[in-house]
A = this chain, B = another copy of it.
Amino acid sequence: MFDLDGTLVDSVYQHVLAWQEALQSEGVELAVWRIHRKIGMSGGLLTNILLRETGVELSAERIERLQRVHADAYKRVAKQIQPLPGARALIAALTDAEIPWAIATSGRMETAAPVLETLGVSRDRVPVITRDLVKYAKPDPDLFLTAAERLGVSIQAASVVGDSVWDMLAAQRAHSLGIGLLSGGYGLEELERAGAYRVFEDPADLLEHLDEVGGRK
């Protein structure tokens, strides 16, 4: 079960700057690294935490506007976003080996759809679980639980591949194994401390070492 942003596509830094633009549009000044470390969480949770940290209070209406500005700012740059090295080859190798795989992202289908297209993922054949389909996004386990269910596999026999500590925490809460990737900009030790039992550089590096993480049917 793959996370999307920072795990299969190189979109984290663009999301970070889109959130900064959205926060600034509501008068919230926040250093970029703090936003970076919250990417991968549900957008609602991310907003709550950032506002709590800055001590700013926004009405429900302004929070909704903030999320809208983020989505618009992100969509402006989404076309330039590329798959990470090895992403296409990795999912093709799993398909060839008849290992079932799915995508589980805290993002909404609205922002996920363009990058799924870049990645060549057909939603008819691959379960894509977005934030729209569950009550709580990461670090809650719901996205991964739903993905395992849709794949028809036991969550405890599945692995979660992600680039953020929120993926690793959600994997632990789902009683699944977490595999970390450095391609979202976290440090190796941050992912290990959050529960990753193995960390690779990016999808290409994971593919190279697939046998180390149960890469067979």
Contact = CB atoms under 8 A, between A and B. Distances in A.
Interface string A109-121: 0000000000000
Nearest to A182: B33
A187 B184 contact: no
Nearest to A54: B85
A133 B118 CA distance: 45
A174 B16 CA distance: 35
Please tell me the size bucket of the interface on A: 20 to 34
Contacts of A31: 10, 84-85, 183, 202
Interface in A160-190: 182-190
Contact of A13 (B29, B36, B182): B36
A185 B36 contact: yes
Contact of A187 (B10, B82, B85, B189): B189
A17 interface: yes
Interface in A179-208: 182-190, 193, 202
A103 interface: no
A91 to B, nearest CB: 17
Contacts of A10: 31-33
Interface in A11-46: 12-13, 16-17, 29, 31-33, 36
Nearest to A81: B32
The interface centre, meaning the residue of A13, A16, A82, A183 with most chain B CB atoms within 10 A of its CB, is: A13
Given A17-B13, A189-B190, A184 B33 contact: yes
A80 to B, nearest CB: 9
A85 B193 CA distance: 27
Nearest to A187: B187
Nearest to A83: B31
A32 B83 CA distance: 11
Contact of A16 (B13, B183, B188, B193): B13
Contact of A185 (B33, B85, B202): B33
A182 B31 CA distance: 11
Contacts of A32: 10, 12-13, 185
